[in-house]
Structure formats: C-alpha cells, structure tokens
Amino acid sequence: MRSLSAVVFAFALACAAIVPASAQRADRNVDLPVVRSLSWFGYVGGDDVRAACQPGTRSHIRLIYNALWEEQVRSYDLFPQPDGTASLNVGVLADQGNVASLSIGSALDITNPWRMKKGQRLLNGDETRELMAALLASAAFGPPRDGLRLPDNDFWWAVSSCRDGAWGFQAYHYPTDGFANVKFADRLWTFDEVRVPVNKPRTLEPAEFRRGFDSHAAQRGRGDRWMVVVGKDGLRPR
C-alpha cells in the first residue's frame, strides 16, 4: 500500500492541474478538500486575507474555532457590507480522526476526513452591529500575545481580519486567561445553522500529557499532531 504522503502528493498534483485558482478565493470556504489539507495552516493564519488587504478593499474577518482537531473545527468568514449588513460563510469539519493513520484504499478515500459541512447566512444591520461590538469588546483585531502556542488537541480561537485596509490578528487559548476575553462566541454560534452541535470547551489535561505532544520540530510536522505559534501580528512561519 502506498504511503499517505505519496498519495497526497500525487493527488495534489492532479488537483493542481484541474482546480482553478478561484477555489481559494477569500470569499469562499476552502475547497477542494485535499487542497485545503495542504494549505490549512495558511488558512488558519489568514494568509489570503492578509495578501488581499489593501486600502479600498472590502472588509473580511475570518474566525477559526479549533475544538480539538480530531473532534471538530469550525470556520467563519464574515464580510461586513457598506450598508451595515454582513454575509457569513460557515464551515465545519467534524470527526476527522488521526490523519496519519488513514488506511488508503483508493485516491478518493484521502478526501473524506476534510470534507466541510457548509452554511451561509446574511446578517441584518442589528445582528451585524451586535457581532462587531462583541468582536471589539474581545480585542479580536489584535494585537495578539507573541509566543502563544496553539496545539491541535486544545480548544482555541484564531481571528484574522482586514478592516478598512488594515490587517489584524488575534488568538485565544483555552483555558488560559485570554480565553475569558472571548465575548463573540455565543453570539456567533446563534448564526451557525450547520447541523453539527458546537463542541464547547471542556476541562482537559494539558495537551502535552494527552498525546505525548512536545515542541520539537520533528513532532510539529507530524500528521497526527501539530502546533501553530502566534507571532507579533499573525502566525509564525512553520
């Protein structure tokens, strides 16, 4: 049986030949699944949001809720409009399992854990104002705490934003004190109509005790465990 990495590489090359660049546009949920799996960290860090952030461009706020990678991840792309309303794209990844131990029977098997359940919602003016006020009260537009570690098997939020041409980034890790600053979660979840219950934070042992996670670079690149580290204005390069 071919190794996971070999199948990923071969399938990614095939996708690259047929998938248009618009599949990664900022106003769409990440797609195709295998393309997303190879660019997930850039998506969490808002690389596309930052690259498109120029004076005169529309506002774009991306919120990632990592509720233990193997259990659930929810993503929200919010686009405030000039009339005070906002469009909201929702994506949910659930029950992905340990991607390093996938048994590959065919090329299509590899995409199954990354298929996003999607939803969309148009927020009216009052809803948009309430959500934006909650984001501001949470200091969601930065600056973040430099050096904050976000392991895959913990609960955390990452927020990348472009507002009026200005880039911002913030992150909150549960159960550190900063997570208490999250004022927007419950309000955001009321707009989330994807039929997968929200996996809310719960008390767990520290991440390094639950799966032997450590900070060595060799471990950070493994498929069954990973970590992102926050810098001064975004995620640090991996």
What local confidence, expressed as pLDDT, does residue 185 receive? 96
Q: What is the mean pLDDT of the chain?
A: 77
Residues in CB range of 153: below 8 A, 6 or more apart? 68, 69, 70, 207, 210, 211, 213, 225
Other residues' Cβ atoms within 10 Å of the Cβ of residue 164: 10
CA–CA distance, 112 with 109 (Å, rounded to integer): 6
**Mean pLDDT of all residues in 198-221:** 62
Per-residue pLDDT at 17 exceeds 90 = no
What local confidence, expressed as pLDDT, does residue 2 receive? 37
Per-residue pLDDT at 221 exceeds 70 = no
pLDDT tens sequence across 33-87? 434 444 788 899 999 999 999 999 999 999 999 999 889 999 999 999 999 999 9
What local confidence, expressed as pLDDT, does residue 192 receive? 96
What local confidence, expressed as pLDDT, does residue 184 receive? 97
What local confidence, expressed as pLDDT, does residue 218 receive? 38
SS3 137: helix
Burial class from Cβ neighbours inside 10 Å (0-12, 13-18, 19+) for residue 112 reads exposed
Tokens of 215: 């900070």
Query: Where is pLDDT greater, at 211 or 79?
Result: 79
